[in-house]
Amino acid sequence: MKAYAIDAYKGPLTLHDVAEPVAGAGDVVVEIAAVSVNPLDVKLRSGAFKAILPYDMPLVLGHDLAGVITAVGAGVASWKVGDAVFACAGGDRIGSFAERIAISQADIARKPASLDMDHAAALPLVALTAWQALVERANLQPGQRVLIHAGSGGVGTVAIQLAKHLGAYVATTVGPDNLELAKELGADLVIDYRNQAFEDVVHDYDVVLHTLDDGVLERSVAVLKPGGKLISISGPPDPAYASQSGANWIVRLAMRVLSAKIRRKARKRGLDYSFLFMRPDATQLEMIAAMVDQEILRPVIDTILPFGETPAALDRSAAGRARGKIVIRGAHSSAAA
């Protein structure tokens, strides 16, 4: 089977011949019709998480996927060959930059009926991230005010729509070329980060969803009211995540030290800082699929590339200028349906 993998951290993404996936107990095998690229794929290639997510090489990258089940393992009763699904592979089960993948039935959901494979593949990781940040972690309520950074990115485009559905007042930061997109997605206040400092515009907010660098994270402290929640998906990891990750004591100590500054700043203002690392969740994906079919959520796609341009897709994501998601069609899919 063909797959795109790295042979070493920071190395190039190249085409490999790898073993065919096998449906173990509780697993299904999916013929991949489309995948999408996430910043997490870029970070894994760089080795950013190697201390807490050790992988053997060669490492096939890729988390998101949409496709059709071709085999089911023992104990799988809810799925059959031919079912169209979408999913986010996580932990040591990643590897969707491939022709096929074996994945746990606990991580898959039925593809939204209203979406083709390309658009379905654009959703899982970013939609799960937005859900776990705004619904689980923030418990966002009608009338609350939320600032979503990078509103034109993969997570941002979904988070704006979800926050509006939850009844919140939504502010977001985007570049000048994406002001109209953010408004179309439902943002109430759109801040051009190149010409305005967001901390000069928004004050006394309930929630900030941070997706950028440490400088933006520290500036975000000033826009929250006491009791507000600062949720970061780009770090630094906090002690709670360090404990959950199963990392050794040295890594846990390092995470505590790295997050000490922002936790101290948040504490002084009476804020709750937390780091979120998305987890696959089929139940949440099912709810997301229903919201898509009800036209509450829609994916935003930057570009669609063929399987042979997977390395270029990863490089485009690394450049940080994608508007929504970068999608890669499966090796045998000329027009994912």
Sign of CA dihedral 52, 20, 308, 302: negative
* Residue 335, pLDDT above cutoff 60: no
* Together in a domain, 150 and 230: yes
* Together in a domain, 74 and 8: yes
Q: Which residue segment(s) compose the domain that 163 sits in?
A: 126-275
Residue pLDDT, tens place only, 134-176: 999 999 999 999 999 999 999 999 999 999 999 999 999 999 9
> What are residue 32's DSSP bridge partners?
67
Does 286 reside within a domain?
no
Output the pLDDT for position 337: 47
The model's confidence at residue 332, banded by pLDDT at 50, 70 and 90, is confident
* Together in a domain, 246 and 186: yes
* Together in a domain, 12 and 81: yes
Q: Residue 80's domain is classified under what CATH number? A: 3.90.180.10
Does 105 reside within a domain?
yes
CA separation for the pair 307, 237 (Å, rounded):
33
Inter-helix orientation angle 124-131/282-293, to 10°: 100
Q: Residue 171's domain is classified under what CATH number? A: 3.40.50.720
Residue where a domain terminates, one of 260, 275, 290: 275
* Residue 336, pLDDT above cutoff 50: no
Does 291 reside within a domain?
no
* Together in a domain, 80 and 173: no
Does 191 reside within a domain?
yes
* Together in a domain, 117 and 18: yes
Does 334 reside within a domain?
no
Does 160 reside within a domain?
yes
Range from 12-16, 91-95, 119-123, 310-314 carrying the lowest mean pLDDT: 91-95
Output the pLDDT for position 320: 85
Does 270 reside within a domain?
yes
* Together in a domain, 175 and 88: no
Kindly state the percentage of the chain with pLDDT values over 70: 94
- Domains contained in the chain, number: 2
Q: Are 49 and 41 in contact (CB under 8 A)?
A: no
Name all contacts of 39-43 with Cβ < 8 Å and 24+ positions apart. 39/154, 39/234, 39/317, 39/320, 40/125, 41/97, 41/314, 41/317, 42/314, 42/317, 42/318
Alpha carbons within 13 A on the beta-carbon side of 67: 32
> What are residue 64's DSSP bridge partners?
88
Residue pLDDT, tens place only, 210-248: 998 889 999 999 999 999 999 999 876 776 776 666 666
Does 325 reside within a domain?
yes
Q: What is the residue type of 276?
A: L
* Together in a domain, 265 and 305: no
CA separation for the pair 151, 187 (Å, rounded):
9
Residue pLDDT, tens place only, 292-319: 999 999 999 999 999 999 999 999 999 9
**Beta strand pairing call for 224-232 and 272-275:** parallel
* Together in a domain, 99 and 137: no
The model's confidence at residue 249, banded by pLDDT at 50, 70 and 90, is low
- Looking at every residue in the chain, the average pLDDT score rounds to 93
* Together in a domain, 110 and 132: no
Q: Are 86 and 71 in contact (CB under 8 A)?
A: no
pTM of the model: 0.94
* Together in a domain, 45 and 95: yes
* Together in a domain, 153 and 219: yes
